[in-house]
A and B are shown apart, each in its own frame.
Chain A
Amino acid sequence: MSESEYQKLLELKLQRPLLPEEQSRLDDLVSQHPEIRDHWDEEMQLCQLLNRLPDAPISSNFTVQTLAAAQSESAPKRVSDRPRLFGWLSLRWVQSATVTAAAMAAAWILYDQKQSAGRAQMAGELAQFSSAALAVDPEKADVNLDALMNYDVITRLENHPIVDDDLLAVLEQE
């Protein structure tokens, strides 16, 4: 019992000066249990030693620098203060998504325009080619016209020579 009471008094003493009634209670304990005196003295000596712990030096402009740092930290808008849609969707996110979508739409329009221009150019060149072919061999105009209109046939014609059946027949007779 006296040990726990001694511990309580010691805990109080470590935090603040003892009240008069607490001090007299301690004196009673020490008189009844002299071995407590040595322990108490040692504890008080340690308290005095710890009071000698050196203070850290503090620069003269610490407070000014701290205030400046605090103000500069609080200058940018906090995330929680940004306006939100539906309570969760950040307006900034919506703005970013809108800009991205607009950029993608513009890129698609440009690409489509380029494709269309390319097709138009190709059609123009084919038309010129067919006109030139008609001018060179009017008798074969119908055949050439059909062939020119079929682009796949044209490409096959380029890769494989045309077979002259009439000439072949003449050569076979010989």
Chain B
Amino acid sequence: MLRVKDGDMDAFELLVERYKRPVINFIFRTLKDATEAEDLAQNVFVQVHKSAHRYKVTAKFTTWLFTIARNLTLNEIRRRTRHPASSMDAAHPEFDDQPIRQYEDNRTASPPDATLSGELEDKIAEAVAALPENQRTAMLLCQQGDVSYEDISSIIGCTLSATKSLIHRARETLKQQLKPYLRTGAWREGAQH
């Protein structure tokens, strides 16, 4: 990040490559829209680049990064509640028959397993998206694994004990929502593939 502060674009590129997945996932699991998640994630990194001159070594980069990501996501949620819009696939500006973005299809499961796997993943995603924002943010950041409880509390602006309480409540809610899958062990069968 210090190199980015000095204007090193190669360093910035490394930063983007390293953190694009967690940032996009974080936004995607709130907005449930892959295109919006990418656009917002791009704005996050642009904001990081613009504000690089203000970065201090004492601040942890992931805390700063996810604070920006959370703020932009919250802005988008507020904008959506004020101006609900219908989603549509954006066409390429030059070629009408091609999408503006091309994604690789990494799914390799056979059709029956794919159905079960897809249904379970949809249920999990729905349950997470249905959580209150602060619980979901705290739980997702905790799930990341490389963000400490102290950093999570800085990002969401709560005390440490309040943050742990949010995570606990989120997990209790999810356990209730996903109880049928926990009991049947469907997660075990899906995990084998």
Residues of A near any B CB (own CB < 8 A)? 11, 14-16, 42-43, 45-46, 48-50, 52-60, 62-63, 65-67, 69-71, 73-74
**What residues of A have a CB within 8 angstroms of the CB of B21 in the complex?**
55, 58
With A49-B124, A52-B124 as given contacts, are A63 and B17 in contact (CB-CB < 8 Å)?
A: yes
CB contact under 8 A between A53 and B128, given known A58-B24, A60-B102: yes
Which of A52, A63, A70 is the one whose CB lies under 8 Å from B121?
A: A52
**Bound CA–CA A14/B138 (angstroms):** 12
Instruction: Let me know if A56 and B37 touch, CB within 8 A.
Output: yes
Could you say which residues of chain A place their CB within 8 Å of the CB of B37? 56
B45-65: CB near A (< 8 Å → 1, else 0) gives 110011000000000000000
User: Which of B68-76, B80-88, B167-175 faces chain A?
Assistant: B167-175
| Contact for B42 among A52, A53, A54, A66, CB less than 8 A | A66
Which single member of B13, B27, B102, B143 contacts A63 (CB below 8 Å)?
Answer: B13
Q: Which of A49, A62, A63, A69 contacts B46 (CB 8 A)?
A: A69
Q: Do the beta carbons of A45 and B187 come within 8 Å of each other?
A: yes
Partner of B20, one of A46, A50, A58: A58
- Contact among A52, A53, A60 for B191, CB-based, below 8 A: A52
Number of contacting residues on B, CB 8 A? 48
A46 lies within 8 A of B174 (CB): yes
Total A-B residue contacts, Cβ distance less than 8 Å: 110
| A66 and B171 form a contact (CB under 8 A) | no
Besides A58-B20, A59-B103, A60-B104, 18 other CB < 8 A contacts? Answer: A15-B149, A45-B182, A48-B191, A49-B178, A50-B124, A52-B117, A52-B120, A53-B128, A54-B121, A55-B21, A55-B25, A56-B24, A56-B34, A57-B34, A66-B42, A66-B46, A67-B13, A70-B9
Which partner residue on chain A sits nearest B50 by CB separation?
A73
* Nearest 6 pairs of A and B residues by beta carbon: A56-B28, A70-B49, A57-B103, A59-B101, A56-B24, A54-B121
Residues of A within 8 A of B187 (CB): 45, 48-49, 52
